[in-house]
Chain A
Amino acid sequence: MRLAEIDRGDGLANRLLIGFISLVSRMRLPDAARVAFYHRDFGRPLGTWTQAAMRGPSKWSVGERELMAAMVAKWNASPFCIGAHGAVAAKAMDRSVVDATLDDFRAGAPSGRLEATLAFLEKMTLHPDELTAADAGAVLDAGVDADALEDAIAVAAVFNIIARYAEALDFAMPTADEFQRAAGMLLKRGYAS
């Protein structure tokens, strides 16, 4: 973590909260949660959108959306977000499916709908200026309706933001066991801070 004030918390209440959660969970509170507590008023609309995109009504399951988030993290070279959201996805679907998709989604995605959508999200992340109606049309032709594609676009937009600040701030990497435990909390409590 490059900003010490995020690490320790801004204000007494947040410092106590970070200490309390770390004590109860018996692990260092991950930097993603520390950022969510920091300068809270400034980032609140991002938290609201993240919660809606990841846990709100959608034709995509929570596991599929977490897997999309992990893929966007991969395209942004963000090990923290790959680990965090891959772990949540693996609580909602088979770990081998998550790993196969992360390795090569064109061979490993669990459905044609998800594969087509990930192809769109990959281009959206890496070459947004090159996206065309034909790219979106290919997803619709794969059986994804417009509302579902819009929901996937929102997931990718949010994680193009989150993965970027995670890397810019240099989030500390939890251990595999800590990712597992944090994933349980994210699955249960969602993203509202």
Chain B
Amino acid sequence: MPGTELDHRALAAALESRILDGAGKTPPALRRKSFERAGGGPPINQPYDDLARQIGQSASHVTDDQLGRVVQAAGSEKAAFEIVLTAAAGAGLLRFRSAMKALEEATDASGRD
């Protein structure tokens, strides 16, 4: 969008690229599935499905057990943290894209920017 002083799209893309494709304790494919699941995507393997879906729908209802099972399956707390952050980002960036699309369509329709 011309004229904006901060390039939020680039900042969002940098976040997405880092957490999905960058180095980590978890396989990038698992991170991508968790990211998409929290954004309303298809079910994934347990126990990741329960946690990613819950973070996407209502993170305040995440339980000790949901996170504990992911720590066990992923092999460490750091790996589980990656899944938590990735799922949260999936939900947040879904909202970013929806909102930016609505704004873009509004400015295109009215000729405003």
Same complex: yes
Residues of A within 8 A of B102 (CB): 131-133, 135-136
Cβ contacts A to B, 24 pairs, < 8 Å: A2-B67, A3-B67, A3-B80, A3-B81, A4-B77, A42-B24, A42-B81, A58-B6, A77-B58, A120-B99, A128-B94, A131-B102, A132-B102, A132-B105, A137-B109, A140-B107, A140-B112, A146-B112, A150-B100, A154-B12, A160-B88, A167-B60, A168-B54, A169-B81
Answer whether residue B45 sits at the interface, using C-beta atoms and an 8 A cutoff.
no
Nearest CB on B from A89, distance (A): 20
* Most A C-beta atoms less than 10 A away, residue of B4, B80, B85: B85
Give the interface SS of chain A, mostly helix, strand, loop or mixed: helix
Answer whether residue A186 sits at the interface, using C-beta atoms and an 8 A cutoff.
no
- Counting residue pairs across A and B whose Cβ atoms lie within 8 Å, the total is 182
Seen from chain A, the residues whose Cβ lies within 8 Å of a Cβ on chain B are: 2-6, 10, 38-39, 41-46, 48-49, 52-53, 56-58, 76-78, 120, 124-125, 128-129, 131-137, 140, 145-147, 149-151, 153-154, 156-170
Contacting pair B19 A160 (CB below 8 A) = no
Contact-residue size bin, chain B (C-beta under 8 Å from the other chain): 35 or more
